[in-house]
């Protein structure tokens, strides 16, 4: 017996389904019957509602599964409204488009019906979306494919490294530590005040003309060199430029021939004797002598006060002949 065509198999399945429901079988002659009759078989008219003649495609496929499995025909749900039967080719395409594993395709059913073997049992339907286990946002984010970030350039990597909180915290810590170490080192080093030497040379006597006050050495050594007459004798002596009131530095006023203190107005003659202001006593003299090389040498480590009679000491002046 040759293989039956798809048309013959569907006609046979419709007839069996109609017989079980107690309805007359649709009259359709096969190609073999036409050949036995000895004439060309007329093509039967296709009913407009195939559901009334042989049931829906769903019922036919259910009957085919039951026949192939060797069991009784399953009870099919009555159709609320008759649906037109789809063409085999369209049904095959629709079944092939379904995902594999859910239910057999039409081609597999027909092939199993021709070969007379049972169909593989269909997998149980998947769970409905309402009964699925909820997925946490973290798991969904993890399952989602991550976008590949574009590679950073060297400048962007350097900027991100410098501006990161970790690096900034370490920079602040290192700066504070360095400042603390410098302050500690500065505390350990004693303060040293560099002062000019107390003994220094100021030149030869002829550099200082009579009745003149030289301020050449005042900024560096703090003395005035004076050539004037004191108690009937011309002398060269060095006056210390410190006011005897509160320690300010007076100024020499050549036009008025006096020393004037800018702080409180104390005034001193060219000899150093006070005559106005709050100064209580005359200016002090520094030791001065004629060195072996003929130059004048001043020694500020020795001081002479007039009120104590120390200006009469030969070390407080150099006589001018």
Please provide the DSSP assignment of 134-174 as one string.
Answer: PPPHHHHHHHSPPPPPPPPPHHHHHHHHHTSHHHHHHHHHH
User: Taking residues 242-262, what's their average pLDDT?
Assistant: 91
pLDDT, greater one: 9 or 282:
282
Distances (CA, A) of 209 to 227, 234, 285, 298: 7, 11, 19, 18
220, 279 Cβ separation under 8 angstroms: no
pLDDT, greater one: 130 or 169:
169
User: Taking residues 38-63, what's their average pLDDT?
Assistant: 52
Measuring CA to CA, which residue among 69, 11, 88 is closest to residue 44?
11
- Residue 186, SS3 per DSSP: helix
Measuring CA to CA, which residue among 113, 136, 144 is closest to residue 9?
113
DSSP strand pairing (199-203 vs 212-214): unpaired
Residue 309: CA atoms inside 13 Å, Cβ hemisphere, count? 0
Number of Cβ atoms within 10 Å of the Cβ of 316 = 22
For residue 26, pLDDT beyond 70: no
pTM given for the model:
0.42
Q: Look at phi and psi of residue 35 and say left if phi exceeds 0, alpha if psi is from -120 to 50, else beta.
A: alpha
Sign of CA dihedral 242, 243, 246, 249: negative
For residue 261, pLDDT beyond 90: yes
The domain spans of the chain are 1-24+51-74+85-122, 199-319
47, 26 Cβ separation under 8 angstroms: yes
pLDDT (tens digit per residue) in 185-232: 888 887 766 677 888 999 999 899 998 999 998 998 999 999 999 988
pLDDT band at 58 (very low <50, low <70, confident <90, very high): confident
Q: What CATH number has the domain spanning 199-319?
A: 2.102.10.10
d(Cα 89, Cα 111) in Å, to the nearest integer? 14
d(Cα 244, Cα 230) in Å, to the nearest integer? 20
- With a CB cutoff of 8 Å and minimum separation 6, the contacts of 75 are none
């Amino acid at each position: 017996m040759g293989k039956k065509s798809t048309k013959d198999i569907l006609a046979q399945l419709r007839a069996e389904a109609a017989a079980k429901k107690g309805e007359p079988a649709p009259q359709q002659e096969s190609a073999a019957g036409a050949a036995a009759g000895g004439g060309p078989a007329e093509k039967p008219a296709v009913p407009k509602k195939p559901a009334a003649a042989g049931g829906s495609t769903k019922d036919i496929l259910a009957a085919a599964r039951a026949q192939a499995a060797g069991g009784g025909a399953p009870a099919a749900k009555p159709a609320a409204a008759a649906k037109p039967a789809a063409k085999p080719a369209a049904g095959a395409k629709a079944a092939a488009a379904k995902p594999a594993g859910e239910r057999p395709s039409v081609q597999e059913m027909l092939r199993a019906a021709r070969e007379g073997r049972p169909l593989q049992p269909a997998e149980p339907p998947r769970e409905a979306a309402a009964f699925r286990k909820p997925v946490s946002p973290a798991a969904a984010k993890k399952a989602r494919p991550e976008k590949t970030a574009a590679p950073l350039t060297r400048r962007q990597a350097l900027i991100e490294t410098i501006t990161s909180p970790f690096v900034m915290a370490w920079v602040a810590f290192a700066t504070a530590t360095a400042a603390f170490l410098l302050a500690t080192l500065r505390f350990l080093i004693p303060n040293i005040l560099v002062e000019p030497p107390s003994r220094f040379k100021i030149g030869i006597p002829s550099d200082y003309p009579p009745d003149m006050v030289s301020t050449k050495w005042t900024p560096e050594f703090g003395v005035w060199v004076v050539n004037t007459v004191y108690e009937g004798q011309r002398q060269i002596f060095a006056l210390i430029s410190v006011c005897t009131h509160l320690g300010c530095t007076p100024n020499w006023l050549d036009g008025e021939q006096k020393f004037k203190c800018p702080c409180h107005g104390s005034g001193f003659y060219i000899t150093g004797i006070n005559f106005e202001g709050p100064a209580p006593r005359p200016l002090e003299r520094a030791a001065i002598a004629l060195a072996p090389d003929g130059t004048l040498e001043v020694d500020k480590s020795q001081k002479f006060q007039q009120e104590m009679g120390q200006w009469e000491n030969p070390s407080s002046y150099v006589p001018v002949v």
